[in-house]
Amino acid sequence: MRSPTIELTSEQIAFFHREGYLSIPALTTAEEVAQMCDIYDHLFQVKAGRDQGDHLDLTTTDEDDQEPALPQILNPSKYAPELKATLLRANAEAVARQLLGPEIIYRGDHAIRKPPRSGAATPWHQDEAYNHPAMAYDEISIWIPLQPATLENGCMWFVPRSHTGDILPHHPIGNNPRIIGLEVDDPESRTADAVACPLPPGGATVHHCKTLHYTGPNLSSEPRRAYILMFGLPPKPLEAARNFYWLEQQRTKWQQRVQAARQAQHQPQHQR
């Protein structure tokens, strides 16, 4: 593990807790971003993790013979372990510790590649809407673009202070239960004061799992690569489970692949 080189100011820490997000100009070096780009593009080229249920398309029905609109790889460092040894990883963990405290655990990594000119928007959502309804979460996602993130290519947008309430009702994109991606109900009424966060390559935004966020379509001529690291305090059981009915309605190809991969490994099945 590399030694971290970043220390947040008390103003940055206070901003994150008050607003539910934070923008950091540099989390790693240009040199490391270039190395990561090569690793990243290769993983998408070979659809790493497809059979393991770790490759999916968020905004379509994700058929095997379909060109993905918004391809994602869950746990990319499982397929490219060199991602674990980056300065980026060390600095992201340092940021998580400074924001949430020393008990943080690593919750995984994630890669989202928006193809040039055809990338779909990732609609407004709260990450916790995908989580288990019977658990309480205090988690963050650290989102790092591997090229500039701009209004044109799909930078992050946040609704300030949206992390202070509970999880809002969500539905699968287009109300299609075969689509994995979720969208908050009635986004127009909830996002009037949203803030865009353009970033240089290797910069980062941090958001809480309850913060409403969105990225636009990629209208540029280059792919928009985002690498995401997630950290959190250990989830705690709630006294009463919440009703995340939108998860119960979903029937996706991805769920089928995850199930098949688990059966192949003789692992007991559990709900995501």
The residue ranges that bind Ni ion (CB under 5 A) are: 127
**Cβ closest to Ni ion, residue 127 vs residue 139:** 127
Least CB distance from residue 56 to Ni ion, whole Å?
14
Report how far residue 211's alpha carbon sits from residue 23's, in angstroms, rounded to the nearest whole number: 14
Least CB distance from residue 171 to Ni ion, whole Å?
15
**Cβ closest to Ni ion, residue 19 vs residue 127:** 127
* CA-based torsion, 92, 68, 259, 235: positive or negative: positive
Provide the 8-state DSSP code for 149.
B
Least CB distance from residue 213 to Ni ion, whole Å?
6
3-state secondary structure of 196: strand
**Cβ closest to Ni ion, residue 109 vs residue 127:** 127
Contact 244, 171 (CB under 8 A): no
| Token duo for residue 91 | 């600095």
Report how far residue 218's alpha carbon sits from residue 119's, in angstroms, rounded to the nearest whole number: 5
**Cβ closest to Ni ion, residue 62 vs residue 127:** 127
Q: How many CA atoms lie within 13 A of 141 on its CB side?
A: 21
The residue among 78, 76, 173 whose CA lies nearest residue 123 is 173
Contact 228, 112 (CB under 8 A): yes
Contact 216, 151 (CB under 8 A): yes
Q: State the residue number with the nearest CB to Ni ion.
A: 127
Phi and psi (nearest 5°) for 156? -75, 145
**Cβ closest to Ni ion, residue 8 vs residue 209:** 209
Least CB distance from residue 34 to Ni ion, whole Å?
26
**Cβ closest to Ni ion, residue 40 vs residue 124:** 124
Least CB distance from residue 247 to Ni ion, whole Å?
15
Least CB distance from residue 103 to Ni ion, whole Å?
23
Contact 249, 172 (CB under 8 A): yes
